[in-house]
Structure 1
Amino acid sequence: MKIKQLIFSAFGPFTEKHLIFDQHEKGLQIIYGPNEAGKSSALRGLKALLYGIQERTLDNFLHAAKELRINGCLQNGDGKELVISRRKGRKNTLLDGCGNVLDEQVLNPFLNGIKLPLFEALFGIDHQALQQGGQEILEQKGEVGQTLFSASLGSHSLHTVLEQLDVEAEELFKPRGSNQKINASLKLFSDLKKEIKDISLPSRDWDIKRHELDELTKELSEIQSELKNNWREVTRLIRIKNTLPKLAGHGDLFREQETLGDVVILPDDFVTRHLQTVKALEAAQLLLDKTTPRLDGLKDEVEKLSVNQDFLDQAETIEDLHARLGGHRKALQDKPHLKSEKEQLLTEAEYLLKDVRPDLDLKDIEVLRPILSRQKTITELGNRKALLLSSVKQVVTNQNETETQLKAARKDKNNLPDMASSEAINLTINAARKLGDLDGLIYSTQSDIQKLQSLCVDDLSRLSLWDGILEDLPALSVPNRESVNHFEKSFDDSDKRIQKLKEKAEEIGTALKAAMLNLDVMHLAGDVPTEEDLVEVRAVRDQIWKLLRREWIDSEDVSLESSHLLAGDSLPDTFERRMLDTDELSDRLRREAERVHAMASLQASEKALNLQLSEINQGLDACTVEKSQLDDEWNSIWTICRIIPRTPREMRLWLDDQEKLRNKVEQLKEYKQKNQGLERSRITHIKLLNEQLVDAGNKPSKSENLEPVLTACEDLSKQIDQVNKQRDVLNQTIDRLDADFESLSDEHLIATKELESWLEEWRKLMKGFGLAGNSTPSEVSDITDKLRKLFDTQKDAGKLQIRINAIDEDADAFQKQVVSMMNNMLPEENELSVEDAVIRLNSLLAENQSNKKQLKQINTQIEDAKNEIQESKSTIEIMTGRLDSLVLEAKCGEHSQLEVAQKKSDEYRRIKRELKAIEQELIQLG
């Protein structure tokens, strides 16, 4: 990524500061400048542009936080450029060149996944970070050290590789893990080792168990052999025991077979055939005995029934007469009522005719029918009269009302006063109103001045460490925030180093105490042999051996040289004792190798910890001297302010308070200037408004405030506008009423002519109907209603006469048909009435139809009975033949002996089956 432009519109100490890097030639571009020139602020601005402005940034001392703005132009390796802008905020802080919100992801192709911490380590390394990185390189740890190593690669690959290796290592093994591959394998190995130990058996115990198994196997073989011999004898005796009862039963069955004598063995289905034949024979005989009497009874019933075929042939005609009998009776009953209703309708028609035309009879009413045919014309013409009269009346009323309103409007116009236009006064009012509420602004500004003055005094009293006055505060020269932040960071780093060294010293001290404690524990548990002890014992042993050889082989006197080694013993005894000591110490070194190794490790650890503790104490002394120098530098930058500073954190808060107080002092000055301008403007506008009041003939206002004068002028303007508006409205009203009055006069003339024309047309129409010319539309409407009712009544009376005639004709035809039927079917009963004759005929028809149906059913039953008797006789003959054949098959004399022969055959079969079963069992038992 290449940075082509950096524009600090409002950030830190910068305002519209432009840095251009768009040269075409490749090369390194350096930004340099003296201390406090803003290099660190520019670096923070670059980080803020790429990653966002910190929420609690300290770069808002010149510009408000919400006004902070950084612009820039970036170019990636493909030559693609991106113009962006960054503002202060919590979200949507990245903008394009037009101020539109951009997604943070658009920076990914330019940053290549580098996060802020890594960016600071790669491109924001200062002197202190370099020192820290060098120390971390020596200690083989730290992000800065990794960054310095990977800088030569042009990327952060080392950091990525280390992170990958850490992840892979954690997947393989964790000290307290359980699911990692190595952890799982170790656990499985431990479990298998424990399982092998649990299921393993010592060789001595295995030999004992194997010997016991051999003896028990031998003993089991002997017992099984004895058991097998005994079981053979038991089996033989059981066979004998089971055979004896069956032999006795076999003899009994032979004797029982001999008692049966000669037996005819019948087939297996003989019993079934015998039972079926007997049952069929009994059933046929029973059916024959039951059917014969029933047949005789049916024949007697047939002789008792009789059927008249003539009635059956005339069944349709008789049923039709019977169906029409109800209607005939109903018509005869309705006939008197219909005649009465007809007479009543004719009477009502005569009364209606007398009301309309008393000079006419009912037979002459057809001359009145044309009136009904023109009823629509009469109705329409009658309805027009009311409309024409209403129209004339409404026009006269409207003329009177319009004339009254016209007089009142002219009177109101004459009563209005004469007033000039309100344009001039409105211009003056608008000019004053454009300034807003001047009185309120002045009052608010004066109130703000008093409050701000009080706040400044209070804040100054609380601003410790400085004894100046408010007026001197804006010119007070104080250190900038970057210096304070630098010293704060330096103090914090120094304290952290000291604290880190103290914690490390405490940690090493704890480890040293633990090592010394472990050494004491080992010493209390007994002396631990060492290689040095073995070398020393062997050296003494070799020295005594040399003396002994000199004494034995060379016959030298070595008593003087060996006196300090013998301790009262002879030289051979001393050598032997030393020899045993050496062997014993060597054996102990082998047996107690772990203790020896632990002792050596603890001693080495103690020595290394003492060395580290000494180095840490030297570092603490150096850090103390460095902090003392830092205190002197910190105090020196506050000397020009005549302030004895506290800690940088406290002094940054003091600077915040001082900056806020300075802003308040400047704001107080602005408020005072603003108040003076407002006062001058108010006086000018009050003067102009009073001049307008005087010009209108009113007294000027004596108020010092602008609002009462404005109110008086606005009231005057409203009064002028209201009077002029009333005059315009009255003029429009008078013109409108004059036009309305002329229009109403024309309407009155037209309405009068239409009414006269209607009267002439109405008289002609009434004369044509024979009615008086002065008849009203309502009277004519009443006459037409009565005429319509008259004609409807006459029509209904005619319909009733037609029904009466039809009843008479139907009754005469019905009577003739019944008399003819009676003469043909029942001449001996001619004296019956028509109704009784129809009922008698229908009754006889029903009786004959019932007898015919019963006769048909009985004949069917007779045929069925004859068939059943024939079938029963045939079945009896067949079954008797079958019994005879069964008697021959059983070789018996008669039918009754078949059951005895069947039982003897069954008993013989049973004995044979049991004998065969016993013989089979004897064969199986041997």
Structure 2
Amino acid sequence: MRIVALEFVAFGCLSNVRLRFGDGEKENFHLIYGENEAGKSTALRGLTNLFYGIPARTADVFRHKGRDLRIRAELLSSSGARLTIVRRKGQQKTLLDGDDQPLPDSTLGEMLGGISEEAFTSVHRLDHEALVRGGEDLREGRGDLAESLFQAGAGVTGLHKVLRELEGQAEAIFKPRGRQPLINGAIERYQQARKQSREWSVRPSDWAKKQEAGAELEAELEQRQGELRRMRAEQKRLERLQFAWPPAARLREVRSELSALGTVVPLPESAARERAEAERTLRDASARVAEAGREARRLETEIAGVHAPEALIVQAAAITALNQRLGAFRQAVADLPTLRTRESRDRDEAGAILQDLKARLNGEAIAKLDLSAIERDRIESLANRYPALIQRMQDAAERAGTAGEELAQSRDLLNATPAALDPAHLRQVVTRAQKGGDLEAQLREARTRLQTLQQQAELQISRLGRWNGTGPDLARLPLPSIETVDRFELEFAEAGEALKAAEQQLKELQEMVRETDARIQAVQLRGEVPTERELELKRDRRDRTWQQVRRAWLGSAGDDSAEHRFQPGKSLVEAYEHAVAEADAAADRLRREAGRAAQLAQLLALREETEERLLDASRDVELLLYRKGVLTGQWETAWSPSAIQPAPPREMRAWLGRCAEVLRVLDVCGTEAGAVQRLEELADRHSAEIRDALATLGAPAAPGAGLAALIDCGRELLSHLEQARTRREALAAEVQRRTREFDKAEREKVQTAERIAGWQEQWNAAVAVLGPAEKLDAAQALAMVRRIDVYHQKAKDAEQRLAQIAALESMVVRFEKDVTDLVPAVAADLHGVPADQAAAGLQSRLMQAQRDAERRKALEEQLAQAQATIEQSQAEVRRATSDLDSLLQQAQCADRDELVAMEQRAARARQLTSEAEQLVHTLVPLSGGTPLEDFLAELAEVNPGRLAAEAEALTAGIAEQEAAIGKLQTAGGKFQTELEAMDGSERAAEAAGKAQQAAAQIESLSARYLRLRLACSILRQQIEIYREENQGPVIRRASELFPKLTRHSFASLKTGFDEKDRPVLLGVRPHDEEVMVAGMSEGTRDQLYLALRLASLERQLEESAEPIPFVADDIFISFDNDRARDAFRVLAELCPKTQVLFFTHHAHLIELAREAVPPDLLQVHRLGACSPEEMPRMKPGAG
């Protein structure tokens, strides 16, 4: 599958950015360059989002809204099928076709060959950070072959770290010989809890007696608590009666007062307010009627005194029109004398000009006199062109003379300049020598670096200690690996920890023996302690004595022997009695001192157990000391091939690190020596080429000159040759230019002469209307044309002013007539007054009449409003009177005084009724469920004084009962404490619970331990399977790529074995020296990882039905220019198999790619820049 086109319609800082990759099979290497903040990283994210969807939470919505994000692409499968897709941001149906119609994800999945997003980002995409992590993982894995191949093939990093963490987590859970891991500690806690559970127990008979005493105490406590509950209930009843007596007495008073009020008409609460409001309305409305009547009479009087002439108001439009024309009338009267004067002057001036023209023009021109606009414009145009034509003719003649002189001088200089030599070969060899930079300075720096590295290696070798020799000897020295040192350090540490733990346990057990002896001695110091063993011995003696007695009683002889055997000096009967007495006494003592006996028995058993554990601990310490000695011998044996007496592993690891640093410096010395040799050969080759080129051009170099001097000589000669060539070319160009200038000047002379002749013909024809052409030059003709124009303008002005005078005179006459006609009808007293004064007087009188009419209208409106107020107030008076009558009728009263009294009685009745209801609400909760009237009757018979006395006596009784209960509860607490002291069941149960908890933890930890071990085993198994399947082809291909990527610092790769016989990856120098991954430099490890990744990718591409493009993101940051150029060549080898997209911020990589990748494969694309304020807030490197 190839990407034909990729367009970021709206994504991040990119808008309508289109990358056209093309569908040609050759153009398969695409370098996408973008400066910082140009959107390179945005494009990379967009490519992954195109294939697998835009995340719900994305940082690429800072310019475009989430719903507007769009990425478009055109894809071409290996079978030739094309697919246009559009990816939008959303929850469902985010994949669209070219027409924005939804596409199933399976359509794109087939194009991608079914690979997941994780596989695409890990296998088909590589950035600089992943490259560095891959190289670091190779170092941490010590070049382990299986891990290296698996990491490169799967594109994962940190595999060795994951394996270490899995094993570390498993060992933290369980180690067969450890004590710190979780399972080991849980097993120890389980065993300890089980032991405690067995030790803590109680005899049933003692427990039963104690339980019986507790039951009696509990029964008494329950009886007293019942009596206390009865007394408290009676106390609450008395309290209710005390609280209820005052409201009950008040309720009786309220009911008595209600009864005393007698019959009360039930008026509403608003009755008094409604009566007062009706009375106030009646008063206010009556006052408004009187006030409005007085105002109406005043307005009628004022209206009668206002007079407005009706005739003036009827002619208001005509008077206003005259007033509007008054200004124009007065202006016309003022302008007429001036206009008549100007009209007369214009006619006189036009006549004078006409007389002057008659003296100059011929008869035909006088008759015609009025020139057309075309004739006048033609004469003016020709007259204006003539001076320019004359000046142009003079300039052309001057330029032709100057150009001829300069052309002759340039031809002489060109003929005197010799032809230049061809410097192409010299320029080529000098450029080639300069391309490598200052080789002599590089050579000096390389020699200095080589000398410094050699001195550094010698100094480091001298500081190593424990060994003497040279660098090559050190490289051949058979030293243990770091893994061996780590293993010994771990084993020494474990042995040390085990020995320390065993010695600590030994000390603890010895201390336990001493403590147990001290406790036994303390028990024995309080008197001899009887034991079961002593009782058994005394009973055995009693039984044997009884046998002697029995045999003597049955007639057997030999009791004398018994006498001497058991109690010398006593008879057999006395001996038997004494034995019985001792056995009984021992039994009695054992019963009396059972506690001390049991304690002594436990201490003796504990001492015996501790002595056994002490013996085991002593043997463990001896065994661990022996194992530590064996381990020390093995450690020294590991170093014996190198004849080095080793220090502890921690010190020898540091020593090996210094050895590795010395070997690394020696490796770099070899690389620098090769670099010095290559620089010397390159400098000699360039020097020879430049010497030959200088000799060919006739400028041999001085003997013994260095490369820099030869380059300077070549550049100086090239500069001279270039200057000569440039000077001759400039002279030839100057001759050509001046020839063109001379020819042009000559042509301009001829053309200007022709134009002057044509002008003369046009001029003769144009001025023929004015007279003979030979008598008129251009200035005279123009002056005559202008005089004719002035004549016509003056005549025209006189005619216009004459028409204006007639119009003004007509307007004045019409205005005077209109005034004369209007005055008799509206203002006869203005007859005979000038028209303008009469019009002004009429306007003044009209305005006064209009003001009087408006005042009359306003007064009439106020009068109508006063009359409306009178009618409205009279209606309110009638309504208030009706309301008062209704209230009197409702209260059954004859007048307003009776109404006020009834309102007061009704209000008091309502107040008493409300209070009675509140008292009832108060008393109901206090009645305790008794009907209210019965409760009130009971309260009526109660004596409040006696209630207080009964309540006080009951309170004292309750206090006494509570004190007794307190004593019983204290006794119960003491009893419970004694019971718990002898009851071991709780502690035994707690110990059993701890044992179960430890067992559950062991089960959980065991499952987790098995999962970790299984995960580690499966991962290692899969890694090994991958190695077996891919080792051959991937190592062969990586062995071909690795030398190219390291500029042949390494010749190949091979597999070998480390000190643990594990297969590892080795680099082979050109002189067959094998280098482990740990001995390679950081950059070389990165290039090794790249070789493995590309080799694995090629194998996957060969097996894949649909090849996926390989995306690289600035993976050459740490490469120098030469290695970057070689790496580009290696990437170009992928192009026949798949499309390569290389993203970079670094412009110099473009030139390196052009030098390394064939032109028919490479395409360079550039991204535009995003403004900084539009960049999203994201991690460094984004966008």
TM-score by length of 2: 0.47
- Distance of 1:440 and 1:324 partners within structure 2: 106
Q: In 2, are the aligned partners of 1:463 and 1:654 still within 8 Å (CA)?
A: yes
Residue 344 of structure 1: CA displacement? 6.0
Report what 2:505 is aligned to: 508
Map Cα deviations across residues 614-648 of structure 1 (whole Å, 9 max, x no partner). 1341342244246336535743x236xxx777776
Pick the aligned partner of 2:542 from 534, 541, 544: 544
Residue 758 of structure 1: CA displacement? 0.9
Q: In 2, are the aligned partners of 1:438 and 1:682 still within 8 Å (CA)?
A: no
Map Cα deviations across residues 800-825 of structure 1 (whole Å, 9 max, x no partner). 43332222112212222333344566
* Greater RCO (Cα-Cα under 8 Å, separation 6 or more): 2
Report what 1:158 is aligned to: none
Report what 2:809 is aligned to: 808
Shifted more, 365-374 versus 750-759: the winner is: 365-374
Is residue 526 from structure 1 mapped to residue 523 from structure 2 by the alignment?
yes
Q: In 2, are the aligned partners of 1:305 and 1:851 still within 8 Å (CA)?
A: yes
Report what 2:496 is aligned to: 499
- Distance of 1:320 and 1:703 partners within structure 2: 119
AA aligned to 2:155 is D
- Distance of 1:514 and 1:875 partners within structure 2: 117
AA aligned to 2:336 is K
- Distance of 2:302 and 2:773 partners within structure 1: 98
Q: Which runs of 5+ in 2 are unaligned?
A: 1-130, 191-212, 264-270, 554-558, 917-935, 941-1183
Residue 331 of structure 1: CA displacement? 2.6
Q: 1:391 to 1:538 in 2, by over 3 A?
A: same
Q: 1:718 to 1:580 in 2, by over 3 A?
A: same
Pick the aligned partner of 1:608 from 588, 608, 613: 613
Pick the aligned partner of 1:579 from 578, 584, 590: 584
Q: In 1, are the aligned partners of 2:566 and 2:575 still within 8 Å (CA)?
A: no
Q: How does 1:858-897 map to 2 (within 5 A)?
A: none
AA aligned to 2:617 is Q
- Distance of 2:358 and 2:177 partners within structure 1: 143
Map Cα deviations across residues 106-139 of structure 1 (whole Å, 9 max, x no partner). x99xx9x9946779999xxxxxxxxx9xxx9975
Map Cα deviations across residues 549-608 of structure 1 (whole Å, 9 max, x no partner). 755995656543332799xx9864663354243344356556875775565345324412
Q: How does 1:699-778 map to 2 (within 5 A)?
A: 701-708=702-709, 711-712=712-713, 714-716=715-717, 718-770=719-771
Is residue 103 from structure 1 mapped to residue 155 from structure 2 by the alignment?
yes
Residue 509 of structure 1: CA displacement? 1.8
Is residue 560 from structure 1 mapped to residue 601 from structure 2 by the alignment?
no
Residue 544 of structure 1: CA displacement? 2.5
Residue 306 of structure 1: CA displacement? 7.7
Report what 2:636 is aligned to: 631
- Distance of 2:440 and 2:337 partners within structure 1: 110
Report what 1:42 is aligned to: none
Q: 1:546 to 1:868 in 2, by over 3 A?
A: closer
Q: In 1, are the aligned partners of 2:292 and 2:869 still within 8 Å (CA)?
A: no
Is residue 618 from structure 1 mapped to residue 623 from structure 2 by the alignment?
yes
Residue 405 of structure 1: CA displacement? 2.1
Residue 788 of structure 1: CA displacement? 5.2
Residue 370 of structure 1: CA displacement? 1.9
Map Cα deviations across residues 44-94 of structure 1 (whole Å, 9 max, x no partner). xxxx9x9977564696xxxxxxxx897x8xxxxxxxxxxx975xxxxxx95
3-state SS, counterpart of residue 813 of structure 1: helix
- Distance of 1:379 and 1:340 partners within structure 2: 35
Q: 1:121 to 1:782 in 2, by over 3 A?
A: same
Report what 1:259 is aligned to: none
TM-score by length of 1: 0.58
Is residue 535 from structure 1 mapped to residue 533 from structure 2 by the alignment?
yes
Report what 2:1051 is aligned to: none
Q: 1:739 to 1:507 in 2, by over 3 A?
A: same
- Distance of 2:141 and 2:298 partners within structure 1: 137
Q: 1:396 to 1:646 in 2, by over 3 A?
A: farther
Q: In 2, are the aligned partners of 1:544 and 1:562 still within 8 Å (CA)?
A: no
Shifted more, 718-727 versus 845-854: the winner is: 845-854
Q: In 1, are the aligned partners of 2:414 and 2:728 still within 8 Å (CA)?
A: yes
Residue 403 of structure 1: CA displacement? 1.8
Q: 1:215 to 1:729 in 2, by over 3 A?
A: closer
Map Cα deviations across residues 404-442 of structure 1 (whole Å, 9 max, x no partner). 222222332344357765578768867987998675577
Q: In 2, are the aligned partners of 1:512 and 1:609 still within 8 Å (CA)?
A: yes
| CA RMSD of superposed structures (Å) | 7.0
Report what 2:375 is aligned to: 374
Q: In 2, are the aligned partners of 1:690 and 1:701 still within 8 Å (CA)?
A: no
AA aligned to 1:585 is L
- Distance of 1:625 and 1:445 partners within structure 2: 51
- Distance of 1:713 and 1:397 partners within structure 2: 49
Q: In 2, are the aligned partners of 1:299 and 1:862 still within 8 Å (CA)?
A: no
Q: How does 1:229-248 map to 2 (within 5 A)?
A: none
Residue 687 of structure 1: CA displacement? 7.2
Q: In 1, are the aligned partners of 2:421 and 2:721 still within 8 Å (CA)?
A: yes
3-state SS, counterpart of residue 523 of structure 2: coil
- Distance of 2:875 and 2:458 partners within structure 1: 149
Shifted more, 534-543 versus 768-777: the winner is: 768-777
3-state SS, counterpart of residue 104 of structure 1: coil
Residue 534 of structure 1: CA displacement? 0.6
3-state SS, counterpart of residue 620 of structure 1: helix
3-state SS, counterpart of residue 371 of structure 2: helix
AA aligned to 1:404 is E
Q: In 2, are the aligned partners of 1:392 and 1:751 still within 8 Å (CA)?
A: yes
Map Cα deviations across residues 853-903 of structure 1 (whole Å, 9 max, x no partner). 888899999999999999999999x99x99xx99xx9xxxxxxxxx99875
Q: How does 1:21-420 map to 2 (within 5 A)?
A: 54=137, 56=139, 95=152, 103-104=155-156, 115=163, 314=315, 316-340=317-341, 342=343, 367-370=368-371, 372-416=373-417
Map Cα deviations across residues 375-406 of structure 1 (whole Å, 9 max, x no partner). 44345434543553344334323322322222
Report what 1:81 is aligned to: none
Q: In 2, are the aligned partners of 1:538 and 1:582 still within 8 Å (CA)?
A: no
Q: In 2, are the aligned partners of 1:487 and 1:634 still within 8 Å (CA)?
A: no
Q: In 1, are the aligned partners of 2:400 and 2:742 still within 8 Å (CA)?
A: yes
Q: 1:365 to 1:520 in 2, by over 3 A?
A: farther
- Distance of 1:744 and 1:346 partners within structure 2: 56
Q: In 2, are the aligned partners of 1:425 and 1:717 still within 8 Å (CA)?
A: yes
3-state SS, counterpart of residue 702 of structure 2: coil
Q: 1:729 to 1:536 in 2, by over 3 A?
A: same
Q: In 1, are the aligned partners of 2:820 and 2:835 still within 8 Å (CA)?
A: yes
Report what 1:894 is aligned to: none
Larger radius of gyration: 1
Report what 2:1085 is aligned to: none
Q: 1:715 to 1:373 in 2, by over 3 A?
A: closer
3-state SS, counterpart of residue 832 of structure 2: coil
- Distance of 1:601 and 1:866 partners within structure 2: 127
Q: Which runs of 5+ in 1 are unaligned?
A: 1-47, 60-67, 73-83, 87-92, 97-101, 123-131, 144-162, 177-200, 255-268, 890-898
Q: In 2, are the aligned partners of 1:508 and 1:613 still within 8 Å (CA)?
A: no
- Distance of 2:575 and 2:728 partners within structure 1: 160
